């Protein structure tokens, strides 16, 4: 007996194949984030686009830091300033979430947190990006998340914003310190999500 698949099933299979198809380069997706407002499309990793959609972000950008640096390069400062300017120009911002990694991947469930120097790098990147944002628009609500430490059990139990963001990223497939293949790497990166009112 021949069995035919429905159109939604075929479409889903096609999309999965297109996103996971063979390639030696990192997988990236150009996304249009669902939102009340027309949003900027940005080329970001698939995990980033997934957490952006789950957080109802209108704008998203992924930035890369040089190892041990906590300040953006001049090139990334220009790119980030332009990104923020376009977002602020679209309307009133509800909040901005800044998610920063250290120079190594997210700690595994058995490790819980990275060494102190790596935690400091992640936290300092968050402070630097928050300061950059507030320098452009002082009254903006900015929430930061360090990916150098897992959300603790209490935060997961009560479902804090931190636990939701970290769980979303982990479910999306970010590597941890124990992952046999650390691809696509998020080490030395930051994700910025902007939610509009």
In order of their start, the domains of the chain are: 38-196 (3.30.1330.60)
* 114 confidence band (pLDDT: 50, 70, 90): very high
Asked if residue 145 has pLDDT above 80, the reply is yes
pLDDT given for residue 42 in this prediction: 52
In terms of phi and psi (left: phi > 0; alpha: psi -120 to 50; beta: otherwise), the region of 87 is: alpha
Length of the chain: 197
**Does this model's pTM top 0.85?**
no
- 148 CB-near residues (< 8 Å, 6+ apart): 101, 102, 107, 113, 114, 118, 119, 121, 122, 123
Helix, strand, coil share (%) of the chain residues, nearest 5? 40, 20, 40
Average pLDDT of the residues in 9-31: 40
Inter-residue contact 119 to 101 (CB < 8 Å): no
- Sheet containing 189-196: give its strands across: 59-64, 189-196, 93-100, 142-146
- The reported pLDDT for the residue numbered 152 is 81
């Amino acid at each position: 007996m021949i069995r035919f698949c429905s159109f939604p099933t075929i479409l889903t299979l096609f999309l999965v194949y297109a996103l996971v198809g063979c390639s030696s380069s990192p997988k990236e997706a150009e996304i249009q984030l669902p939102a009340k407002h027309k949003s900027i499309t940005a080329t970001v990793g698939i995990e980033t686009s997934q957490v952006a959609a789950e957080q109802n972000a209108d704008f998203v950008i992924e930035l890369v830091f040089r190892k041990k640096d906590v300040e953006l390069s001049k090139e990334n400062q220009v790119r980030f300033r332009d990104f923020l300017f376009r977002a602020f120009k679209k309307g009133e911002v509800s909040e901005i979430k800044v998610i920063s990694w250290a120079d190594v991947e997210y700690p595994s469930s058995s490790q819980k947190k990275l060494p102190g120097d790596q935690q400091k790098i992640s936290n300092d990147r968050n402070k630097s990006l928050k300061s950059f944002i507030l320098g452009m628009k002082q009254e903006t609500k900015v929430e930061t998340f360090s990916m150098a430490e897992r959300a603790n059990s209490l935060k997961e139990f009560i479902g804090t914003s931190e636990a939701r963001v970290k769980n979303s990223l982990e479910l999306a497939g970010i590597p941890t310190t124990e992952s046999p293949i650390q691809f696509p790497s998020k080490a030395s990166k930051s994700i910025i999500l902007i939610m509009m009112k």
